[in-house]
Amino acid sequence: MSAVAARLGVRRRSRRLRPAWRQPLAVVGAVIAIAWIVIAIFAPLIAPHDPLAQTFAPQQSPSLKHLFGTDELGRDVLSRVLYGSRVSVPIALLLVGLAACVGGLVGALAGYFRGVVDGLFMRAADLVFAFPPIVLAMVVAAVLGRGLQNAALAIVVVAWPSYARVVRGLVLSVADAEYVQSARLLGSSARRALFRDVLPNVVGPVLVLATLDLANATLLLSGLSFLGLGAQPPRAEWGSMVADGAQYFQWWWIGTFPGLAIFTAVLAFNFLGDSLRDAFDPQTAWGGEAQE
């Protein structure tokens, strides 16, 4: 492709980061994600009823009194969905954060020191990659025992290798980059170069991966709970609620609304992740200039 076409495709002289209103998907994603975070924080204040109170008439379809209806035990579904966010959202965030840190550290060490260290760490990662995530998570959760904490641990075990691999690849490529060599020539120690030059180039992709991973973590957690390995009854958690709803299909509201909650949260995280990726690449964000 000629220089001209390449230049025209991406060149924009010093444009600011494209204003948010130009990126509808990102806005939608951000709004939804923030909404769920807010809900998670303020659920006790927002929810009309106690999620565990089985005081209402069971299996009532959605009405003004119970916007999402009541479930088979007479609990208000709306309140349960709102409280469910207190499980899914913070845990997803925590898990992804943990996995990113662990995986990132492993990857950075592997990429920096190479040799035996690299081999060892990467084989461990490969071991995890060999299994479908949900299967492995199930196994780990089953081994550790039922419960939310164990499900969480299982997810971290499943999630860290992606970060390790990404970070390792980045460290490997960036460490040899000429701008790092330039910095070293100027007298920068290897450590300073690592923090000033290597890591900033690593943070971006990791953040994108993490945001997209939030979606995966949410799904995994819900999946494990759906299978009975995660949140235990009577805890209000989206996945187990969907499981319940699957049993009581005729009362569609029991499973549908938690399902929608999962759906919107995951979608929101995906949108966010995509636009974060664009934002982090200074070339796409500010208008890149391709090579001549």
Residues that bind other proteins (CB under 8 A): 1-5, 7-9, 11, 13-14, 177-190, 192, 196-197, 200-201, 204, 282-283, 286-289, 291-292
Nearer to other proteins, 7 or 146 (CB): 7
Residues in the chain: 292
Closest to other proteins by CB, 34 vs 190, is 190
Closer residue to other proteins, CB minimum distance, 7 or 277: 7
Q: Compare residues 5 and 45 and give the one whose CB is closer to other proteins.
A: 5
Nearest approach, Cβ of residue 284 and other proteins (Å): 10
**CB-based contacts of 209: which residues, under 8 Å, 6+ apart?**
100, 162, 163, 166, 273
Q: How far is the CB of 283 from other proteins (least distance, A)?
A: 5
- What are phi and psi for residue 33, nearest 5 degrees? -60, -45
Please state, in angstroms and as integers, the Cα–Cα distance from residue 63 to each residue in 44, 66, 85, 255, following that order. Answer: 21, 5, 22, 16
- Using the minimum distance from each CB to other proteins, give the nearer residue, 139 or 203: 203
Closest approach of Cβ 170 to other proteins, in Å? 12
> Hey, what amino acid is at 140?
V
Q: Which residue has the tokens 């965030």?
A: 93
- Contact partners, residue 286, CB within 8 Å, separation at least 6: 12, 14, 15, 16, 17
DSSP per residue, 36-82: HHHHHHHHHHH-SS-TT---SPTTPPP-SSSTT-B-TTS-BHHHHHH
Cα separation, 91 vs 217, whole angstroms:
9
Q: Which is nearer to other proteins, 54 or 181 (CB)?
A: 181
Burial state string for 244-267 with b = 16 or more CB within 10 A and e = fewer than 16:
bbeeeeebebbbbbbbebbebbbb
Question: Which CB, 122 or 202, lies closer to other proteins?
Answer: 202
Q: Alpha carbon of 135 to those of 129, 154, 158: distances in Å?
A: 11, 10, 10
279: which residues sit within 8 A by CB, 6+ positions away?
17, 285
Q: How far is the CB of 208 from other proteins (least distance, A)?
A: 14
The CB-of-126 to other proteins minimum distance in angstroms stands at 22
Question: What is the smallest separation between the CB atom of 182 and other proteins, expressed in angstroms?
Answer: 6
Could you tell me if 151 and 225 are in contact, meaning their C-beta atoms sit under 8 angstroms apart?
A: yes
CB of 210 to other proteins, least distance (A): 18
For the bound state, the minimum distance from the C-beta of residue 24 to other proteins, rounded and expressed in Å, comes to 16
Nearer to other proteins, 38 or 190 (CB): 190
